[in-house]
Amino acid sequence: MGGLARRVSYIKAFQHRSNMEVPTLFVDAGNLFTDDRFAGDHLPAEVMTKNQWVVKGYSDFHQDVANISFNDLPYIAELFKKDGYEKRLQEYPFIDRLISANLEPADDTRRAPQPYLIREVTLSRTAPGKKLRIAFVGLTEGKPTSPNQHESLYAGFRINDVFETAKRVIPEAKKKADMVVVLAYMSQDMAQRLASENPDIDTLIVARQMSLMNDPEHFGRATITYAFNQTKYLGELRYYLRSDSTIENQINRYVALDADLPDDPQASEIVTAAHNDFTNVQKASMDANPAPAAQPASQDSPFVGASTCMNCHATQYAVWEKSGHAHAMATLERKSQQFDNECVRCHVVGFNKGGFQSLISTPQLANVQCEACHGPGREHVAAPAKGFGFMATPTGCVQCHTLTNSPDFNFATYWPKIKH
Amino acid sequence: MHRKLSLSVTLLFITILTTLQFGCSGSDPGEADMNAPLSFDINSPKIKERLGNDDGYAMAIIYGADIHGSLETCG
């Protein structure tokens, strides 16, 4: 599900269907870039590479506006450096379409993003030839440090209060436009408060790694919709206007970007090039920093691997060995994603929990083995006892078989395949 | 005279071409042409189902988020 190549296909089809006569804008509500393994002042080379390809992809396939979220800041800190900015902008015009009203650089080595952008479209259906100006305002919550606390300074940027900023910026944007659309990276509660407090907002497009496909919410004149995590479902807001071009109604649709949508050939080329580049940089990085040789019996890890479990649970092992779980890494290898930590975490044992690190240092913990579901087994091996490894189903399964990662998951049909 | 006319025609042709390429579409040099012919049939039942009905909307905003550095998704 998802991906640039299917997204581009859909957008092209959408425009062709109306013979290009209906103005259509493409926006992103935030979290475009990864901040994985941000080490205080720099991003690792492979993470930089991934982000650079996003900038290229979004420059090559027109994006009208994108909101900067707190997750984006380590890479934004690189993009918005004053030194070399004009050259970067010339190469990747998309940089100038990254907005935020409540971010400001903590020092003068970086540029501040534009608080809002106004896009003008020409209507053809309700009032042919009439121009409509749409102001897009960007806002992000601070970087969370605990459930109720947010960092106000991150990666060289100050993250100002969302609500104070909105009260200042949104009326200003409204004066210059016919319609105000806020791109907001924040929780549902914050978005609802934002809509309630700011009557000039017409549409609020909200993201925060949510997997919601609810009907839009309405607060005063504002319509709130939620972007689906990883854009596996594309959001589509249709506007129906009165003869004076004011909004009569907004209807939201979610479009599944599944295999029924063919990949766009041009976008596929970018995705493949990005993929190969990232894989090469990742391999080079691993070669330059070789991890210790694989130690199947490493006493440092709480995980022991399926081959140890087999010593006492041979019947269960035999079932597992024939299941898809035992070959989960091969699924990634077929798409050369075995180095992409975003994907790897659900295809191994104990990622980021003292288990799998990489195919070079801990190959014995690749694939979804016994301990991925039943928990680390080292203590159990040392003192075997009944009651170990209970796992609630399907609650445990849906940690990885989420709606976004595994849309076809059905416990009733999946469980018999691994019943043991 | 003939050479001047020929040069003028060439310059006019280049100007028209440049305008068509970059001026009217509002896109940047190097951007993919989103209006280019499609490589698939938008009238196939599956694509039509995805597109839904054209019910007279005047404008649309297509949106996404949270790609977190990945132009593709896992597996």
Instruction: Determine the average pLDDT of the residues in A149-157.
Output: 86
Question: Is the pLDDT reported for residue B57 higher than 50?
Answer: yes
* Number of compact structural domains in chain B: 1
- Minimal Cβ distance to B51: which of A13, A264, A271: A13
The model's confidence at residue B75, banded by pLDDT at 50, 70 and 90, is: low
Q: How many CA atoms lie within 13 A of A339 on its CB side?
A: 18
Report the mean per-residue pLDDT for chain A: 90
Q: Do A24 and B72 touch (CB under 8 A)?
A: no
**Chain B residues lying within 8 Å of A61, measured CB to CB:** 31-32, 34
Q: A312 near A255, Cβ under 8 Å?
A: no
Instruction: Determine the average pLDDT of the residues in A155-175.
Output: 97
Q: Is the ipTM of this complex over 0.90?
A: no
A243 or A118, which is more confident? A118
Which residue, chain included where needed, has tokens 């009569």? A248
> Per residue in A105-114, pLDDT tens?
999 999 999 9
Q: Do A31 and B68 touch (CB under 8 A)?
A: yes
Q: How far apart are CA A196 and CA A207, in angstroms?
A: 18
Interhelix angle for A265-288 vs A4-17, to 10°?
160
pLDDT score at A404: 66
> Per residue in A297-318, pLDDT tens?
467 789 999 999 999 999 999 9
The model's confidence at residue A416, banded by pLDDT at 50, 70 and 90, is: confident
The model's confidence at residue B20, banded by pLDDT at 50, 70 and 90, is: very low
Q: Which two tokens stand for residue A383?
A: 């003192």
pLDDT score at B11: 52
The model's confidence at residue A290, banded by pLDDT at 50, 70 and 90, is: low
Where in chain A is CATH 3.60.21.10?
Answer: 4-256
The model's confidence at residue A291, banded by pLDDT at 50, 70 and 90, is: low
- Minimal Cβ distance to A25: which of B56, B61, B71: B61
CATH, domain A4-256, list 3.60.21.10, 3.40.50.970, 3.40.50.2300, 3.90.1170.50:
3.60.21.10
pLDDT score at A368: 96
- Contact residues for A41 (Cβ-Cβ < 8 A; gap 6+): none
Give the distance from residue B3's alpha carbon to the nearest chain A alpha carbon, in angstroms: 37
pTM of the predicted structure, to 2 decimals: 0.81
**Residue B48 falls inside a structural domain:** no
Enclosing domain of residue B1: 1-29
User: A275 CB near a chain B CB, below 8 Å?
Assistant: yes
- Quote the CATH superfamily of domain A296-418: Flavocytochrome C3; Chain A (1.10.1130.10)
- Contact residues for A256 (Cβ-Cβ < 8 A; gap 6+): A1, A232, A233, A407, B50
Residues of chain A above pLDDT 90, percent? 64
Q: How far apart are CA A256 and CA A323, in angstroms?
A: 28
pLDDT score at A300: 79
The model's confidence at residue B25, banded by pLDDT at 50, 70 and 90, is: very low
Spatial CA neighbour of A235 closest among B61, B34, B12: B61
Chain A residues 222-241 within an 8 A CB cutoff of chain B: 225, 227-232, 234-241
Where in chain A is CATH 1.10.1130.10?
Answer: 296-418
- Minimal Cβ distance to A61: which of B32, B56, B65: B32
Question: Is the pLDDT reported for residue A271 higher than 70?
Answer: yes
DSSP string, A204-264: EEEESS----PPPEEETTEEEEEPPGGGSEEEEEEEEE-TTS-EEEEEEEEEE-STTSPPP
Which amino acid appears at position A373 of this protein? C
Burial of A85 (0-12, 13-18, 19+ CB in 10 A): middle
Q: A124 near A94, Cβ under 8 Å?
A: no
**What is the rounded radius of gyration, in angstroms, for the C-alpha atoms of chain A?**
24
pLDDT score at B22: 35
- Minimal Cβ distance to A2: which of B30, B31, B73: B73
Q: How far apart are CA A309 and CA A318, in angstroms?
A: 11
A150-154, A194-198, A265-269: which is most confident = A194-198
The model's confidence at residue B5, banded by pLDDT at 50, 70 and 90, is: low
Q: Which of A1, A242, A260, A367 to substitute to test the interface with B, most B CBs within 10 Å?
A: A260
Q: A348 near A355, Cβ under 8 Å?
A: yes
> Per residue in A215-229, pLDDT tens?
899 988 899 999 998
| CA distances from residue A178 to A12, A232, B60 in whole angstroms, order as listed | 26, 31, 15
Q: Do B70 and A340 touch (CB under 8 A)?
A: yes
**Residue B18 falls inside a structural domain:** yes
**Residue B5 falls inside a structural domain:** yes
DSSP-derived letter for residue A143 is: E
**Residue B42 falls inside a structural domain:** no
